[in-house]
Structure 1
Amino acid sequence: MQNRVYVLLNSPNVPSVEGDVICADAGIKFADGKKQKIVAVLGDFDSFDGRCEFETVRFPSHKNMSDGVICADYAAEKGYGEIVFCGVTGGRFDHQLSNLSLLKYARQKGVKAFGYDVEDGKALYIYFAAEPISIDVKAGDIVSVMPFDSVTVDGADNLEYPLDNLTITSSDLSRGLSNIALSDGKVSLNVVKGEAFVFRYAL
């Protein structure tokens, strides 16, 4: 099994990365062939004409999956053990919601995944959690927990506001907003029921 691959989505929030890269359609705009190994460019090419020096695979424009899903499937088939989706946020809001679901989709394919974006010059990391999870943080980082539908967290380490036997639902998302990492190291969330996205805004 190979290690990590970056999937570049078509978003202004794609960061600069180094390593193996799969581009989702016009995500090729954000690729740098000098720093990256461009494995393939995949999609229906509705936002990119498909002409480039790298391997391209064109899919029908009438399809029942996004270009991001196509890239996740391709990465899993190639044996990558971890996918970093870049450009999850930014662009059309419905696309952002669809991009978030890629983290759960990859997990169901047996591949680790997280999101990595840059917003206003600052790094944003996004994780999918359906069980206890630990993430790297620096003191002062903002950590938000957003349920997929509902999620129960019973305990958290290294956060300013306690999350003890707290159930957050989609009708009250504010309960999980804007917690703060107390020190450099790890934030651990004891997810005991349900599923959530965990956002880390690095300061």
Structure 2
Amino acid sequence: MNKCLIITSHVDAIEKLAINSADYDCVICADGGLLVANKLKITPDLLIGDYDSMAMPENTDLIKLPMEKNMTDSEAAIDLAVSKGYDDITVLGGLGGRFDHTMGNIGMLAKYSGSNTGLTFVDGCNRVFMLEPGTYEIPKSGHRYLGLIAYGGTVTSLTIKGVKYPLVNHLLTDDTTLGVSNEILSDSAHLNFRKGRLLVILSSDVDNHSR
């Protein structure tokens, strides 16, 4: 797989992160994500944005977007990565801060759900991705909690094992908090479901996060 790291301008609990840019084939900074990259001592390969949150950098590998457009800089960065053939994309940030941006980024997970592109949002407390029907093993990845949210409708025949609160053939609706704050008991959990889209959130409290 071709791996790409996208760095956004808002990353919660950045001090909890340990990112090795050598693990990625390409690093793209979306707008003010360049300032975050500088803090993490990461040199990006590409820059994209309208630069409304920072001065436009002097860089030849820069795509300048108009201030008025029909997408966020984060979406533009994700689309750019996909257009360049990257099929394993990690977005650093994009969770927390302005809630409309957060919800828009959840929409990005839905946009590429079911495609050949694996998309994950990560910050210092959370790892968020979306699953289509199937059978999966979910590594704990150093997080305390596991949240399962039905996205855009119901998730049918949901079974999850290896967790504090298991489910068997459960109908998970999108109007409940039932799937929130579960816990993986060992290294990973096992789940499967037949229909729907499942938003998976691995998380830890801000002041109690180990990776």
Same fold at TM > 0.5: yes
Which letter does structure 2 place at the counterpart of 1:175?
A: L
Indicate yes or no: 2:77 matched with 1:78. no
Structure 2 counterpart SS, 1:175: coil
Indicate yes or no: 2:194 matched with 1:198. no
Residues of 2 paired with 1:4 and 1:139: CA distance?
Answer: 21
How many angstroms does 1:183 deviate by? Answer: 0.8
RMSD over aligned CA atoms reads: 2.3
Structure 2 counterpart SS, 1:28: helix
- What is residue 165 of structure 2 aligned with on the other side? 161
Structure 2 counterpart SS, 1:187: strand
- What is residue 171 of structure 1 aligned with on the other side? 175
Structure 1 unaligned spans of 5+: none
Q: TM-score, normalised by structure 1?
A: 0.85
Which letter does structure 1 place at the counterpart of 2:75?
A: V
Indicate yes or no: 2:61 matched with 1:62. no
Which letter does structure 2 place at the counterpart of 1:155?
A: T
- What is residue 3 of structure 1 aligned with on the other side? 2
Structure 1 counterpart SS, 2:76: helix
Judge conservation of contact 2:113–2:131 (CA < 8 Å) in 1.
Answer: no
Indicate yes or no: 2:117 matched with 1:114. no
- What is residue 98 of structure 1 aligned with on the other side? 104
Q: TM-score, normalised by structure 2?
A: 0.82
Judge conservation of contact 2:11–2:92 (CA < 8 Å) in 1.
Answer: no
Structure 2 unaligned spans of 5+: none
- What is residue 50 of structure 2 aligned with on the other side? 44
Give the direction of change, closer, same or farther, for the CA distance of 1:99–1:140 in structure 2 (3 Å limit): closer
Which letter does structure 2 place at the counterpart of 1:55?
A: D
Judge conservation of contact 1:25–1:43 (CA < 8 Å) in 2.
Answer: yes
Judge conservation of contact 1:134–1:187 (CA < 8 Å) in 2.
Answer: yes
Residues of 2 paired with 1:51 and 1:170: CA distance?
Answer: 42
How many angstroms does 1:138 deviate by? Answer: 5.8
Residues of 1 paired with 2:79 and 2:61: CA distance?
Answer: 16
- What is residue 142 of structure 1 aligned with on the other side? 145
Judge conservation of contact 2:91–2:122 (CA < 8 Å) in 1.
Answer: yes
**Equivalent in 11, 20, 28 of residue 22 of structure 1:** 28
How many angstroms does 1:34 deviate by? Answer: 8.1
Structure 2 counterpart SS, 1:164: strand
How many angstroms does 1:98 deviate by? Answer: 0.8
Give the direction of change, closer, same or farther, for the CA distance of 1:4–1:22 in structure 2 (3 Å limit): same
Residues of 2 paired with 1:111 and 1:138: CA distance?
Answer: 21
How many angstroms does 1:142 deviate by? Answer: 1.0
Residues of 2 paired with 1:113 and 1:60: CA distance?
Answer: 25
How many angstroms does 1:139 deviate by? Answer: 8.1
Which letter does structure 1 place at the counterpart of 2:193?
A: V
